[in-house]
């Protein structure tokens, strides 16, 4: 059998098996607009471990492609591009010369939106399970946001708007900004932004600003990226995001310290934040002289009160000390030996020392016994110790 005959039989079999159009789901792995405006691509399906388990060529003829591309962009906010999960209404064909192919007649944009929403939910769930989803939000925003690290495409219109509004503010506030250039759309955008985030020295900046602005809404899915979200969530300084979208939120918006719609909105927030601090400082400066005067008057009153209380306190102290001295005199008088002699006691001295213990005496020593009315002298003949 000739190859053409075999392929002709296969084509007839496929046409018989699929007489009508069918809806098929898969991931667009590649696609391009060729000559004549026709769109050529490849639809694949992957297993859970990422292995491609099926693939098929797709063709969207020029007239159909023009309508479908416009409608898909309007309904989903995206361009047809690699990486999207699509649901397509296709005609299954097998050409004798070109082989198996799917001719696309319609695309269900709601399926793609649902798939992206599911992917976003899965990333957010993983971030929450990892315990990092609120890490950047939990950081304290510095009172002064003067040193700003800016991650953006150097050619982005939003970058120029951000810089103009920030540095030409009506309050005359001064800011220091440094650009960390990165890709802000396309498959390489997450890795590019991550690389710049890791280059930022947290000690040198008060915050990080990630701005895009002016890009297509279709590029939002580039920010639904786990590794990028994880890097932003764990950034050691607050991250402010303004990637220029109104209708939808990305994972990045959920993990950043603050999410604003546009680059100019980020600039306005930073300026307002500084203006509030400036107003607070001006209010303090205005109130400071009065506060100092009030404090000085209060301290003077305190000193005057103390000075008035000192004489009375001194008198009371002197009275207490005099009473203490009198008590001590009374105690000393009570210990006077003359009082003991008047009560009938006597004092025995030996060699000018008071005899307190008989063991101090020796035979032949002369004792002097003093009484109230005189003294008696005696000689020690015998020393007798009592047993205790």
Domain CATH for 91: 2.40.50.140
Residue 133 shares a structural domain with residue 86 = no
Domain extent, residue 346, equals 339-379
In this prediction, residue 365 carries a pLDDT of 86
The tokens describing 147, both together, are 């040193």
Q: Who wins on pLDDT, 138 or 84?
A: 138
Residue 138 shares a structural domain with residue 91 = no
Provide the pLDDT confidence category of residue 209 given band limits of 50, 70 and 90: very high
Q: Who wins on pLDDT, 87 or 81?
A: 87
Domain end point (choices 56, 72, 107): 107
In this prediction, residue 60 carries a pLDDT of 94
| Torsional sign, CA 209, 215, 216, 219 | negative
Tell me, yes or no, whether 317 lies in a domain: no
Is residue 293 pLDDT above 60, yes or no? yes
Is residue 289 pLDDT above 80, yes or no? no
Is residue 240 pLDDT above 90, yes or no? yes
Is residue 194 pLDDT above 80, yes or no? yes
Average pLDDT over residues 61-88: 87
Tell me, yes or no, whether 291 lies in a domain: no
In this prediction, residue 103 carries a pLDDT of 94
User: Hunting for tokens 């003949």 — which residue is that?
Assistant: 381
Provide the pLDDT confidence category of residue 215 given band limits of 50, 70 and 90: low
**26, 82, 138, 167, 275 from 143: Cα distances, Å:** 50, 44, 15, 18, 11
Q: Average per-residue pLDDT in the chain? A: 85
Is residue 385 pLDDT above 90, yes or no? no
Tell me, yes or no, whether 222 lies in a domain: yes
Tell me, yes or no, whether 76 lies in a domain: yes
The tokens describing 77, both together, are 């906010």
Tell me, yes or no, whether 7 lies in a domain: yes
Question: How far is 345 from 337, CA to CA, in rounded Å?
Answer: 9
Tell me, yes or no, whether 384 lies in a domain: no
Residue 49 shares a structural domain with residue 97 = yes
Residue 44 shares a structural domain with residue 139 = no
| Contact of 246 with 217, CB cutoff 8 Å | no
Domain end point (choices 107, 142, 160): 107
Is residue 218 pLDDT above 70, yes or no? no
In this prediction, residue 150 carries a pLDDT of 96
Tell me, yes or no, whether 121 lies in a domain: no
Residue 155 shares a structural domain with residue 215 = yes
DSSP letters of 175-190?
-EEEEEE---SSTTHH
Q: Who wins on pLDDT, 202 or 281?
A: 202
- CATH number where 137 lies: 3.40.50.2300
First to last CA, the chain: 145
Residue 63 shares a structural domain with residue 197 = no
The total domain count for the chain is 3
In this prediction, residue 190 carries a pLDDT of 92
Provide the pLDDT confidence category of residue 231 given band limits of 50, 70 and 90: very high
Residue 70: CB atoms within 10 Å = 10
Domain end point (choices 234, 257, 275): 275
Residue 39 shares a structural domain with residue 140 = no
Average pLDDT over residues 231-256: 87
Residue 244 shares a structural domain with residue 371 = no
In this prediction, residue 342 carries a pLDDT of 73
Is residue 335 pLDDT above 90, yes or no? no
**169-181 pLDDT per residue, tens:** 888 888 999 999 9
Is residue 388 pLDDT above 70, yes or no? no
Residue 157 shares a structural domain with residue 102 = no
Give me the half-sphere count of Cα atoms (radius 13 Å) on the Cβ side of residue 386: 3
Provide the pLDDT confidence category of residue 246 given band limits of 50, 70 and 90: low
Tell me, yes or no, whether 285 lies in a domain: no
In this prediction, residue 329 carries a pLDDT of 76
């Amino acid at each position: 059998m000739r190859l053409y005959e075999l392929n002709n039989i296969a084509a007839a079999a496929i046409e018989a098996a699929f007489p009508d159009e069918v809806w098929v789901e898969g991931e667009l792995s590649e696609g391009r607009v060729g000559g004549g405006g026709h769109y050529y691509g490849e639809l694949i399906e992957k297993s859970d471990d990422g292995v491609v388990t099926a693939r098929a060529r797709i063709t969207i003829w020029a007239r159909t492609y023009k309508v479908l591309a416009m409608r898909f962009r309007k309904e989903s906010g995206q361009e047809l591009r690699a990486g999207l999960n699509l649901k397509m209404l296709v005609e299954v064909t097998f050409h004798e010369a070109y082989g198996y192919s799917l001719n696309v007649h319609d695309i269900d944009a709601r399926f793609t939106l649902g798939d992206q929403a599911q992917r976003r939910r899965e990333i957010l769930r993983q971030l929450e399970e990892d315990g990092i989803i609120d890490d950047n939000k939990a950081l304290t925003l510095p009172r002064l946001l003067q040193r700003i690290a800016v991650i953006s495409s150097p050619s982005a219109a939003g970058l120029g708007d951000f810089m103009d509004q920030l540095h030409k503010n009506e309050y005359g506030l001064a800011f220091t900004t440094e650009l960390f250039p990165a890709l802000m759309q396309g498959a390489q955008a997450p890795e590019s932004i991550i690389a710049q985030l890791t280059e930022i020295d947290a000690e040198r900046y008060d915050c990080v600003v990630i701005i895009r602005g002016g890009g297509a809404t279709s590029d939002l899915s580039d920010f639904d990226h786990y590794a990028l979200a994880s890097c932003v969530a764990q950034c050691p300084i607050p991250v402010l995001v303004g990637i220029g979208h109104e209708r939808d939120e990305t994972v990045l918006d959920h993990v950043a310290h603050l999410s604003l719609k546009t680059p100019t909105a980020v600039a306005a927030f930073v300026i307002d934040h500084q203006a509030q601090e400036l107003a607070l400082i001006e209010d303090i400066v205005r109130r400071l002289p009065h506060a100092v005067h009030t404090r000085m008057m209060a301290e003077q009153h305190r000193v005057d009160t103390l000075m008035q209380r000192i004489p009375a306190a001194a008198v009371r102290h002197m009275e207490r000390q005099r009473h203490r001295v009198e008590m001590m005199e009374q105690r000393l008088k009570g210990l006077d030996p003359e009082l003991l002699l008047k009560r009938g006691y006597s004092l025995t001295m030996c060699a000018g020392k008071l005899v307190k213990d008989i063991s101090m005496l020796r035979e032949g020593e002369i004792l002097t016994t003093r009484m109230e009315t005189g003294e008696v002298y005696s000689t020690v003949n015998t020393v007798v110790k009592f047993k205790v």
